[in-house]
Amino acid sequence: MLGIPTDQQFIIFLNFGLIGIVIGFVFEFFRSFGKVFHFKRMTVFFVDLFLCLLSAFFIYIALFIWNYGEVRFFIFLALTLGIVLYYLIISPYIYKHLILTFKFIRFIILKIIKWKNALQDFINKKRIICIRHCYRLKNYFLKEKENKNEKE
């Protein structure tokens, strides 16, 4: 980088280090989400592939914004250091909290589904009872009508 001063190169290094940390967090987010909600292996593969392509796209855009499209060794070093730093230092704490958060969300979703099913069963039972009463009333009035016709 002949045209970019050293202090600006350092800022670019820090920016790409932060991008590495964000990429690590995004992968961690989907890893914990998949662990709690039990995705199939094929789904995990395609989500990982999508995240890799999305990460590459954002790195490519960041290269053009901050580094004028120049690819340098220190950029890959910063990305790698950001990802490694995330997984060694931050990941254990974030992973535990993400797992707890997703388990709580799954618990709430399952409770809502259980309440919905219980309400639906209750409504269906009441509807069946109502239909039976309507059928009995219809039969009662038909018998009444037949009895009146027989009396006349």
Whole-number mean pLDDT of the chain? Answer: 88
pTM above 0.85, yes or no: no
- pLDDT given for residue 100 in this prediction: 96
For residue 1, pLDDT beyond 50: no
User: How far is residue 128's CA from residue 134's CA, in Å, rounded to a whole number?
Assistant: 10
For residue 22, pLDDT beyond 70: yes
What type of residue is 67? N
- Give the number of residues written for the chain: 152
- pLDDT given for residue 2 in this prediction: 58
Domain boundaries of the chain, sorted by first residue: 6-110
* Tens-digit pLDDT profile for residues 52-85: 999 999 999 999 988 888 888 999 999 999 999 9
Where would I find the H helices in 2-90? 6-37, 41-67, 73-85
